């Protein structure tokens, strides 16, 4: 059975190897897994959100800020109640705000509206 943790780990490794396009595909696939039949549903959901955050970070590092913001928003909207406190809703709002500031600084804020 496939789990998002495996996709998250593979995606992270691919990023470290500089294979970013492949990493983005792997991370996105990991976010699509539904977790049917898994015993630890909370761990599954946490890994899905972590994959989204990693994907958002990858896009932000590549300067693909619109994609990064879209992925961060997706993470924010799918955040389970039991998600670890180190990445709370407040933290995700902060990430989105920082990315918005980067847009503004680059003169791209009008593209968001």
The token pair that represents 91 in the structure block: 């933290």
CATH 1.20.200.10 fits 4-111, yes or no: no
Written as one string, the DSSP assignment of 8-51 is HHHHHHHHHTT-HHHHHHHHHHHHH---TT-S-HHHHHHHHHHH
Query: How confident is residue 88, by pLDDT bands cut at 50, 70 and 90?
Result: low
DSSP 110: G
The model's pLDDT over 11-43, given as tens digits with 9 standing for 90+, comes to 999 999 999 999 999 999 999 987 777 777 777
Helix (H) or strand (E) holding 107: none
Under 8 Å between Cβ of 45 and 80? yes
Q: How many other C-beta atoms can be found within 10 angstroms of the C-beta atom of residue 36?
A: 8
């Amino acid at each position: 059975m496939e789990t998002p943790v495996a996709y998250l780990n593979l995606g992270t490794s691919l990023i470290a190897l500089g294979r970013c396009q492949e990493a983005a595909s792997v991370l996105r696939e990991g976010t699509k897994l539904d977790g049917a039949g898994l015993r630890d549903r909370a761990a599954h959901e946490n890994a899905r959100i972590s994959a989204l955050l990693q994907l958002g970070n990858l896009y932000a590092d590549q300067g693909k800020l619109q994609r990064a913001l879209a992925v961060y928003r997706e993470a924010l909207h799918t955040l389970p109640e039991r998600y670890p406190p180190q990445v709370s809703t407040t933290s995700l709002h902060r990430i989105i705000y920082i990315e918005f500031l980067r847009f503004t600084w680059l003169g791209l804020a009008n593209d968001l509206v």
